[in-house]
Amino acid sequence: MTSDDPVRRGGREAQRRRTRKAIVDAAVRLSAAGATPSIDEIAAAADVSRRTVYTYFPSLDHLLIDATAGALNEPPVEEALNDPALAGDPAGRVDALIRTLLKYSPQSLPLGRRLIRLTVDPPASGTEQPTGPRRGPRRIEWLEQACEPLRSTLSPESYQRLISALTIVVGWEAQIALRDVRGLDPEAEEEAITWAARALVEAAIREHEADSSANDAAAGTDRR
C-alpha cells in the first residue's frame, strides 16, 4: 500500500478535520467566558501544540473569526423559520429569528464583540483597504428568509430598505448598545429588539397598503 492510497489519504484528511474542529471548539469554549484567549491557551485546551494551531490558522484573529462562525452555526434558525404556523407571518418570522438568536447569545455575544472590533478597527498597515477578515452575509440571509412572505408584496426598493433597517436592530450591535448604553437585562433587551423589529415590519406593510390605496384612488379618478 503506497502513501497515495485513497484509504490512507482519506484517513489523513479525517484527522485534519478532527484537529481543526478541536482547535475551533476550544476557541469557542474559552471565548464564551468573555475574555480573549491566547494561542497558547487554545492550544492547551485543544491538546495540540502552538505550532499545530498556526498550521491551520495564520493568526489568532482568523481563528476567532472561525470560532465565531462555529458559534453562529449552533442556533436552529432554519427550524424556527420553517415553522408552518409562521408561513405567512413576516413579523412573526422575524420575531422567531430574533428569539432564537438571543437564546444562544451567552455563547455568541463575547465572540461577536471580538468580531466587531476586528472588522471596524482601521487596518494596522495604515492603508485604506481592510486587511483582516470581514463579516459574512449570514445575518442578511436570515433576515431575507424571515421576510420572504413580503418579497412579492413590497416593491424591490421597499423590501431592501426593510432588510437594511432590520439589520440595524437584529444583531450583536443592538445587543451591545442595549447592554452597555442602556444597561438592560437580557429579558428587557429581548423585548426592546423584538418590539423594534416588529414595528419596522408593520410600518413597511402599512406603507405598502397606503401606497396601494392611493394608486387605486388615482386610477379611479382617471377612469372618470
Tens-place pLDDT, residues 139-160: 888 999 999 999 999 999 999 9
Q: Is the pLDDT of residue 48 over 80?
A: yes
pLDDT band at 65 (very low <50, low <70, confident <90, very high): confident
On whether the CB atoms of residues 54 and 48 are closer than 8 A, the answer is no
Phi, psi of 152 (to 5 degrees): -90, -5
Q: Where are the domains of the chain?
A: 1-73, 75-224
Residue range 1-73 forms a domain whose CATH class is: mainly alpha
CB 178 within 8 A of CB 201: no
Query: Residues 12-32: what's their mean pLDDT?
Result: 87
Give me the DSSP letters along 83-130.
-GGGTT-HHHHHHHHHHHHHHTHHHHHHHHHHHHHHHHSPPTT--SS-
Q: Mean pLDDT of all residues in the chain?
A: 83
- Mean pLDDT computed over 87-106: 92
pTM: predicted TM-score of the whole model, two decimal places: 0.67
